[in-house]
Amino acid sequence: MDASSRIEAGLNMAFTRTHAPPAPPLLAAAMRHAVFPRGARVRPRLCLSVAAACGDDHPEVSDAAACALELLHCASLVHDDLPCFDDAAIRRGKPSVHAAYGAPLAVLAGDALIVLSFQLLAWSTLHVPARLGPLVLTIAQAVGMPNGIAAGQAWESEPKPDLAVYQRAKTGALFSAATIAGAAAAGADPQPWRALGELLGEAYQVADDLLDAVANPDECGKPVGQDAALNRPSAVRAYGINGALDLLESLAASAAASIPDCAGATPLRALIAQEAKRLVPKSLSRAAA
């Protein structure tokens, strides 16, 4: 099975296991709504690519790690779209979870997706229990305190957020977790893979800032212009559009260069080149990109 099929199958399996009776039907539907139809699935694909480069001796574990990352990413979007945060009515081109199901079920869907991600890790490691601890810690660190997604979102409530700390937590942490968890799921030393995740996370955040600044809502699948409207820190506001574009290119190049020497290095570099191209908003694509 290719990576995309593994991810979709893993996510469907996760819901099959947790949405049986006596599951409340509306919460089950809200959770599915948050995760399907698919977004780019960037983080889980990155996780599986690193696991493959490291031998992927227990694919059920790397599948679980990949799906856990995606569930947590979706959970963060659901909560970030809530009326008390961005109040976004549209996500991935359709109504956001709170717009479709109301704020209470959106809060609960995020909560239940967070919990499900840890369940996935535990189910997958029943036969390799030594892998569970490092995976739980890696992934929890990426979404909790002091520098995971929740911490990142919380900087939006602080009077003087530090742009680098904010972006590293809100976006970078889950990318670092994707590469580290990919290696840990395959039983490899994760440390050589940290830089790749960090650099891709930074690149992705810069791309998101660019998209928010220049895209139209149709291209983006969500409202744009939010950073300026909500006075949020952003690479475009800090460096201008050309400065942000330069930064994005340089980060993608550093990411490709950071890949440790291993059997799977070539397909991984190809994936990164493809992502870097995809990340540049269409209206800004440079001839060289």
Binding site for a second copy (CB under 8 A): 18-28, 31, 75, 79, 82-85, 101-105, 107-108, 110-112, 114-116, 118-119, 121-123, 125-126, 129-130, 132-133, 136-137, 140-141, 143-148, 150-151, 153-158, 161-162, 165, 169
Q: Which is nearer to a second copy, 77 or 256 (CB)?
A: 77
Q: How far is the CB of 164 from a second copy (least distance, A)?
A: 10
Q: CB count, 10 Å around CB of 157?
A: 8
Paired tokens of 58: 């227990």
Q: CB count, 10 Å around CB of 283?
A: 11
Q: Which is nearer to a second copy, 28 or 241 (CB)?
A: 28
Q: Which is nearer to a second copy, 121 or 214 (CB)?
A: 121
Farthest-apart Cα atoms in the chain, separation: 55
Q: Which is nearer to a second copy, 3 or 105 (CB)?
A: 105
Q: What is the signed CA dihedral for 265, 266, 271, 276, rounded to 10 degrees?
A: 90
Q: What is the signed CA dihedral for 41, 44, 49, 50, rounded to 10 degrees?
A: 150
Q: Which is nearer to a second copy, 21 or 261 (CB)?
A: 21
> Which residues on adjacent β-strands are paired with residue 91?
94
Q: How far is the CB of 106 from a second copy (least distance, A)?
A: 8
Q: Which is nearer to a second copy, 165 or 195 (CB)?
A: 165
Q: How far is the CB of 96 from a second copy (least distance, A)?
A: 14
Which residues, other chains included, contact 216 with Cβ-Cβ below 8 Å and sequence gap of 6+?
A: 224
Contact 72, 117 (CB under 8 A): yes
Q: How far is the CB of 201 from a second copy (least distance, A)?
A: 15
Contact 87, 76 (CB under 8 A): no
Q: How far is the CB of 242 from a second copy (least distance, A)?
A: 29
Contact 3, 49 (CB under 8 A): yes
Q: How far is the CB of 126 from a second copy (least distance, A)?
A: 6
